[in-house]
Amino acid sequence: MVDASIILADGSAALIELCGISILERLLRTLQRCGIKRAIVLSTTPKLIAEQLAQPSWARAQIDVTVRNREIRVVTVDQIVDIWPKSAQLLLLVRGDAVFDIRLLRLLSTQSSTTALVDSAVPPELQSLVASAPNTSRGKFCGAALLRYEWAVAQSGSFDEVVANGLAQRTVAALDVAEQPLYYVTMRREIRPFWFHAPPPAYKKAAERVLLDSIQKGTQDIPALVHAPIENFLVSHLCKTSITPNQLTILCNIVGWITTILFATGRLPWGIALALIVGVLDGLDGKVARIKVETSKSGKLEHWFDAFFEISWWTALAYYFRTSRQLPSAFYYLALLLVAEATDLVAKGSVYFTCGKVIDELSSFERMVRLVGGRRNVYVWILTAGLFLGAPGKALIVMAWLEVATAVVHLPRAAWAVWIRRRSARSKLLLA
């Protein structure tokens, strides 16, 4: 596994800010999350680059970065070999003025031979952002390559020309962006891996739109479809401030627990208003973390925090409806809701860990179920409707039975998907 990288960064292009951070900073954060431990920034403007990198950043703190001077602008293979890190057989070479989908760099870093990242079918929406990329016989050279030391020491001349010749002669393998799977498990949707170079001022907004689109998760419920454009608008501004994902998580949880208190004390209009706000706040921390490449393992704890205050909401509502005699059997429906949610969670988990995708992505039917199935956002809308109709206690009954229906639909579908996957795996083993 490669753990060293050389970054070619010159002048101001690598320091252009997109969605709150420079292209070079974004690249370093991405490389750290690909397992890169050492990075040498080779630049004709080392002082300018060093000044920018001197600013501390926890999001790239685990990668050791050094800046080296380059006298001439054209990069040669000899220059790369001269600064090749000792003991490294493989090296990831990346343009510092380019933005890459993390999937591409992760895949490139797993190759075992000299491989160049190319794109044989650039989509129309990216044409203006990749116009400066060199053309090769295999498509546009994206500006990233995995090099083997034995290959590099046998070459001479301009790096771009050597790679182009190697691609033409098939001595350099091509990793084609156009041939990569579209489905992105983390984002629950199909999205083509993106890449582009530092945009000119006229195309900066187009580049930021690509980044904003890349952080949007798919397969949403109806309320989330309403929340998405609001979240994206807020994220497009929040990412350019010093507000951190953790601060947004804390804010969301504070509002969430205040909502619990309001529900328990019967202040339903105010509680529902805050619950609707939480629906938007809950998506901001993750999106800001993804847009600024500030994701971390601790960020996954946010889902557990959400689950705690979510359960507290339904418990608080059941308590209020029971004590106010609006629904004497409120705790029965609370138990029904929680058991159904736990059962549904088992079904979802079995599909995710067996099939590698969320249950909502199995087919168009599951995607339709996701739109209206039992989820917190949907429950809040049901509660809102109940309040307007003058029967909020009845909303808890609807919520409980909706979750039961969701679990009943998901259980057999999950069992079938797991059985099919395991049967396919056994068949492959027998054929092998």
What residue ranges define each of the domains in the chain, with the CATH number in brackets? 4-197 (3.90.550.10), 215-428 (1.20.120.1760)
Chain length of the chain: 432
Joined together, the tokens standing for residue 335 give: 């138990």
Q: How far apart are CA 399 and CA 374, in angstroms?
A: 7
**Threshold 0.85, pTM exceeds:** yes
- The chain-wide mean pLDDT, for the chain, equals 92
Q: Are 106 and 174 in contact (CB under 8 A)?
A: no
* CA 403 to each of CA 226, 335, 399: distance values in angstroms, whole numbers, following the listed order: 21, 11, 6
Joined together, the tokens standing for residue 193 give: 């891996």
Provide CB contacts within 8 A for 326, sequence distance 6+.
320, 392, 393
Main-chain phi, psi angles of 210, to 5 degrees? -60, -45
* CA 311 to each of CA 124, 266, 308, 395, 401: distance values in angstroms, whole numbers, following the listed order: 46, 17, 5, 16, 16
Joined together, the tokens standing for residue 189 give: 């949707």
Exposed (0-12), middle (13-18) or buried (19+): which is 99, by Cβ within 10 Å?
buried
* CA 341 to each of CA 369, 375, 401: distance values in angstroms, whole numbers, following the listed order: 15, 9, 11
CB-facing half-sphere around the CA of 373: CA atoms within 13 A: 22
Query: Residue 295, by phi and psi: left (phi above 0), alpha (psi -120 to 50) or beta?
Result: beta
Q: Are 105 and 30 in contact (CB under 8 A)?
A: yes
Joined together, the tokens standing for residue 216 give: 């949007």
> In the chain, what are the helix, strand and coil shares in percent, each to the nearest 5?
60, 15, 25
Note the pLDDT tens digit of each residue in 313-364.
Answer: 999 999 999 999 999 999 999 999 999 999 999 999 999 888 877 888 888 8
Q: Are 209 and 153 in contact (CB under 8 A)?
A: no
Does pLDDT of 431 surpass 80?
no
pLDDT at 212: 95
Does pLDDT of 395 surpass 90?
yes
* CA 114 to each of CA 145, 163, 350: distance values in angstroms, whole numbers, following the listed order: 7, 9, 38
Q: How far apart are CA 175 and CA 160, in angstroms?
A: 16
Joined together, the tokens standing for residue 211 give: 């980044």
Taking Cα atoms as reference points, which of 321, 340, 341, 343 lies closest to residue 331?
321
Joined together, the tokens standing for residue 358 give: 């969320």
Does pLDDT of 299 surpass 70?
no
Q: How far apart are CA 335 and CA 188, in angstroms?
A: 30
pLDDT at 135: 95
Does pLDDT of 409 surpass 90?
yes
pLDDT at 220: 82
Q: For residue 190, list its beta bridge partners.
A: 183
Does pLDDT of 298 surpass 70?
no
Give the pLDDT mean for 24-49. Answer: 94
Note the pLDDT tens digit of each residue in 187-228.
Answer: 888 899 999 999 999 999 999 999 999 999 887 888 988 999
Note the pLDDT tens digit of each residue in 147-189.
Answer: 999 999 999 999 999 999 999 999 999 999 999 999 888 888 8
* ∠ Cα 256 303 267 (to 5°): 15
pLDDT at 432: 60
Does pLDDT of 39 surpass 80?
yes
Q: Tokens 């396919």 map to which residue?
A: 424
Note the pLDDT tens digit of each residue in 237-278.
Answer: 999 999 999 999 999 999 999 999 999 999 999 999 999 999
Euclidean distance between the first and final Cα of the chain, in Å?
27
Provide CB contacts within 8 A for 110, sequence distance 6+.
1
pLDDT at 195: 96
Joined together, the tokens standing for residue 424 give: 């396919």
Main-chain phi, psi angles of 295, to 5 degrees? -70, 150
